[in-house]
Amino acid sequence: MAEAFARAYGSDVLIPASAGLTPAGIVAPLTLQVLAEKNIDAGAQFPKGLDLVSQVPFDLAVNMSGYPTPLPAARVMEWSVLDPIGEKPEVYRNVANEIEGLVMKLILELRSVR
């Protein structure tokens, strides 16, 4: 969700890439549904492991796993966000709203230091 929001709202200040510690085989259908309800198209996204992104140095990494991240980044932000997998659609919507707010706050911060 965070990558989708970042692509939609912040392409002028960041190049988002997402990865997980144990990525699923597909993006959860409820994730796509909830994002589509917000007019966010994440159809081209797919789950990726850290091995696909860990070779690239990042200016900023946002860790939502709750575990230490091995990503090479100049700055790491920790976001404590519920993983909605297996939950009802309303939980997905609440998580999407929370992530959207966090992403927008980050984008505004990045725009203010340009």
pLDDT at residue 55, rounded to an integer: 76
Q: Do 54 and 75 form a contact (C-beta atoms < 8 A)? A: no
pTM: 0.92
CATH classification of the domain holding 26: 3.40.50.2300
pLDDT at residue 57, rounded to an integer: 80
Residue 42's CB: how many other CB atoms inside 10 A? Answer: 18
pLDDT at residue 12, rounded to an integer: 96
**Domain extent at residue 24:** 2-112
pLDDT at residue 85, rounded to an integer: 92
Regions of the chain with pLDDT less than 50: none
Distances (CA, A) of 14 to 23, 25, 39, 53: 23, 26, 20, 15
pLDDT at residue 69, rounded to an integer: 76
Tally of structural domains, the chain? 1
pLDDT at residue 97, rounded to an integer: 98
